[in-house]
Amino acid sequence: MRQSIAIAIWTILLSATTPLMAATLAERIGTGSAFGGLHAGTLGPGVHVGYDFSRDIAIRGFYNYFNLDFDKEKAGNEYEGKMKLRSLGLVADWHPFWGAFRISGGAILNGNRLSASTEGMDLGIGLGEYDTKLDLRMDFERLAPYLGIGWTTGRDRGGLSFNADIGAILRSTPRVSATGRAEGCDFSISTGGDAEVDCSGVAGVLAGELSGNLEREHRELRDDLDKLKVYPVLSLGVSYRF
């Protein structure tokens, strides 16, 4: 008798709660929607695509591409260079309130790089000044994590929507290397700060001095760049939701 009553109670509870649970699950999952669009920001202009799996979970992929040539004068020396912005990212978005606001996290393949060259008298390297021709290169670790927040409008309907991102690429300290010629000596310095100097036909004392100054200059530059371990990401975009 007691067993029959317990079965009846469970049957009533299940019949009452199952439709509610199913409705809640359906409301949470929804039908999903795909979207794609354009954006621009501190990583350059780019394209993005994504998919909303539910009201609170989405995933996005994006690609950024931009080239910039520049001329800059510093300490009396004219630098000519090129900046290339290249990045490919995949992030997951969590919308904790089922609205426009989201918290994002993912990974970025960072192909950003900069190259510059200069040639002139009395170019300061470490504690010395030399008649120098210098080619400088800077890049970043290839894979880096991304964290940020953002907003996406129109998630509950099709058509145009707008989005914004505020975040940061972590572990983005630039890596610098260089090659050149100073006072008749050919030199190179690696991203790790090790200098190689070839002063064929020139007094060996100059090779040692130049090598030491190159490594000193690299250490000082690396100390300055170590402060840039976080690369800020700001972006505005427009999407079309299907």
What region, left, alpha or beta, does residue 76 occupy, with left being phi > 0 and alpha being psi -120 to 50 degrees?
A: left
Q: Which of 8-12, 61-65, 106-110, 175-179 has the lowest mean pLDDT?
A: 8-12
Residue 207 banded pLDDT, cuts 50, 70, 90: confident
SS3 readout for 78-96: EEEEEEEEEEEEEEEEECC
Q: How big is the CA angle at 242 (ends 24 and 56), to the nearest 5 degrees?
A: 35
Q: Please answer whether residues 167 and 150 qualify as being in contact, where contact means their C-beta atoms are separated by less than 8 angstroms.
A: yes
Fold of 32-241: Porin (2.40.160)
Provide the pLDDT for residue 93: 97
Q: Compute the mean pLDDT over every residue in the chain, rounded to the nearest whole number.
A: 83
Contacts of 213 (CB under 8 A, 6+ apart): 125, 126, 127, 128
Measured CA to CA, the distance from residue 218 to residue 224 in angstroms comes to 10
Average of pLDDT values for 64-84? Answer: 85
What residue has token string 């998919």? 51
Q: Who contacts 7 (Cβ-Cβ below 8 Å, separation ≥6)? A: none
Q: Please give the single-letter amino acid code of residue 129.
A: E
At 24, list the tokens: 């809640």
**Residue limits of CATH 2.40.160.170 in the chain:** 32-241
What residues pair up with 152 in beta bridges, in sequence order? 163
**Size (the chain), residues:** 242
- Per-residue pLDDT band for 165 (boundaries 50, 70, 90) equals very high
Amino acid found at 109: L
Residue 15 pLDDT level (bands cut at 50, 70, 90): low
Q: Are 120 and 104 in contact (CB under 8 A)?
A: no
Q: What pLDDT shows up at residue 78?
A: 79
